[in-house]
Amino acid sequence: MVKLKNRQWRLANHPVGMIKESDFNWVEEEVEYELQEGELLVKNYYLSLDPANRSWISASPKSHYIEPVKIGDVMRGITIGQVIESKNPKYDKGEYVIGTLGWQDYSVSKGSGLINISLLPKPEGVSITIYLNVLGMIGLTAYFGLLEIGKPKVGETLVVSAAAGAVGSLVGQIGKIKGCRVIGIAGTEEKCKWLTEELKFDGAINYKTESVYKRLKELCPNGIDIYYENVGGKILDAALANLAVYARIPVCGMISKYNLTELQPGPSNIVQIVTKRALMQGFIVNDFLGRISEAMLDLMTWFNEGKLKYREHIVQGLENAPRAINMLFDGSNKGKLIIQIAKEPT
Ligand SMILES: NC(=O)c1ccc[n+]([C@@H]2O[C@H](COP(=O)([O-])OP(=O)(O)OC[C@H]3O[C@@H](n4cnc5c(N)ncnc54)[C@H](OP(=O)(O)O)[C@@H]3O)[C@@H](O)[C@H]2O)c1
């Protein structure tokens, strides 16, 4: 038996609009962990904050693609942690795992849905958080959405929204690897500069200071062949108005909609799907779970070749999770948003 102090965020109520700290309860308690056969105890070091977290706690069933978090439950979240006790033959004490282990210091798991990252190859000199990013759910989302639905061809024009974010920045870089002209849409000058100067995008549009419609017209004179959608709303409308014939639109997310309290009409340019014979298809990364190894091989190769760069935005302290998550919605995150819950042992 192990006795430990656990700290958790539990859902207090379904948020209305932006998430508030009062939507969660902070619980600190001494817990005596007595593992059953097949169970393991994990100490969490890093917590991934993702736009999808908002839909997991929404009261509206329309936004649920998996079972919502129930009031009183520990908030769901993907973590990286270390096994500190194990009665599961697949996991040894000391190994690192990634899984949906929640907004808490310690989690008991039966092992289902966990990935033993100690068994995976890791590039030299990078933090283990790369498994929450390029070599994790983020990389897989960019990879499958772009390649399976976008089907990029050499010389085509790819436009991506939320382009300086975790998914968007990888989408653009994979597009470059596949020989596309890539235009990114982002919300600050700094982000736009990072896209063109560091990631070598062919153009960037600041949607807060420029007309997205006009700039897309200038930057994509032959139309948009692939619009990788992360945002929705006015940006989607501007992209629809600039499509090329036979365009593809992988719909990865619509972050501008996640905190709305009432549905808005639109998109007003949807008729362009007909006139341009375009394909628009939504997807969830879990649809591709059976094909993780092929994607990981490519992502690892491209990363080792220096073709995939990434930024991380690490916020210290589990206690800051409910406040930090709103950075995804006000755009103040620069790269993959992660909470560091505890320091890894050196
Ligand atoms: N389908 C799937 O399986 C799947 C999996 C993972 C993620 N996703 C989706 O992928 C998208 C990106 O997620 P991520 O984890 O990579 O987050 P991220 O891009 O790192 O962060 C979110 C970014 O969205 C932008 N944004 C927020 N509100 C906006 C608004 N109203 N209008 C325009 N831009 C806005 C902000 O950047 P700016 O500063 O540029 O505004 C913010 O930094 C989200 O839509 C998410 O739901 C889907």
Q: What would the 3-class secondary structure string for the chain be?
A: CEEEEEEEEEECCCCCCCCCHHHEEEEEEEEEECCCCCCEEEEEEEEECCCHHHHHCCCCHHHCCCCCCCCCCECCCEEEEEEEEECCCCCCCCCEEEECCCCECEEEECCCCCEEHHHCCCCCCCCHHHHHCCCCHHHHHHHHHHHHHHCCCCCCEEEECCCCCHHHHHHHHHHHHCCCEEEEEECCHHHHHHHHHHCCCCEEEECCCCCHHHHHHHHCCCCEEEEEECCCHHHHHHHHCCEEEEEEEEECCCHHHCCCCCCCCCCCCCCHHHHCCCEEEECCHHHHHHHHHHHHHHHHHHHHCCCCCCCEEEEECHHHHHHHCCHHHHCCCCCEEEEECCCCCC
pLDDT mean over 231-251:
98
Residue 104 alpha carbon to ligand 1 centre in Å = 24
* Ligand 1 pocket residue status of 51, Cβ below 6 Å: yes
One-letter identity of residue 154: V
Residue nearest to atom 36 of ligand 1 (CA): 331
pLDDT band, residue 63 (cuts 50/70/90): low
Q: What is the pLDDT of residue 233?
A: 96
Residue 162 alpha carbon to ligand 1 centre in Å = 5
Residue 255 alpha carbon to ligand 1 centre in Å = 5
* Ligand 1 pocket residue status of 253, Cβ below 6 Å: yes
- pLDDT per residue as tens digits for the range 122-148: 899 999 999 999 999 999 999 999 999
Q: What is the pLDDT of residue 255?
A: 97
Q: By the 8 A CB rule, do 91 and 116 touch? A: yes
Residue 85 alpha carbon to ligand 1 centre in Å = 36
Q: By the 8 A CB rule, do 260 and 283 touch? A: no
- Reference 138, options 109, 158, 108, 168; nearest CA is 168
Q: What percentage of residues in the chain have a pLDDT greater than 90?
A: 94
Residue 121 alpha carbon to ligand 1 centre in Å = 28
pLDDT higher than threshold 80 for residue 62: no
Please check whether the domain covering 137-287 is classified as CATH 3.40.50.720: yes
Residue 44 alpha carbon to ligand 1 centre in Å = 25
Q: What is the pLDDT of residue 283?
A: 98
pLDDT higher than threshold 90 for residue 317: yes
pLDDT mean over 190-204:
98
Q: What is the pLDDT of residue 264?
A: 87
pLDDT higher than threshold 90 for residue 66: no
pLDDT mean over 218-229:
98
pLDDT mean over 295-322:
98
pLDDT mean over 219-230:
98
Residue nearest to atom 2 of ligand 1 (CA): 284
* Ligand 1 pocket residue status of 157, Cβ below 6 Å: no
- pLDDT per residue as tens digits for the range 247-263: 999 999 999 999 999 88
- pLDDT per residue as tens digits for the range 33-42: 999 999 999 9
Nearby residues of 106 by Cβ (< 8 Å), 6 or more positions away? 4, 6, 31, 33, 41, 42, 43, 44, 84
Q: By the 8 A CB rule, do 309 and 8 touch? A: no
- Please state the domain extents for the chain: 2-131+310-340, 137-287
Q: What is the pLDDT of residue 65?
A: 81
Q: What is the pLDDT of residue 18?
A: 95
* Ligand 1 pocket residue status of 256, Cβ below 6 Å: yes
Q: By the 8 A CB rule, do 232 and 255 touch? A: yes
The best mutation among 160, 199, 229, 255 to test binding of ligand 1, ranked by most ligand atoms within 8 Å of the C-beta, falls on 255
Q: What is the pLDDT of residue 59?
A: 85
Q: By the 8 A CB rule, do 39 and 87 touch? A: yes
Q: What is the pLDDT of residue 266?
A: 83
- pLDDT per residue as tens digits for the range 156-192: 999 999 999 999 999 999 999 999 999 999 999 999 9
Residue nearest to atom 47 of ligand 1 (CA): 253
Please check whether the domain covering 2-131+310-340 is classified as CATH 3.40.50.300: no
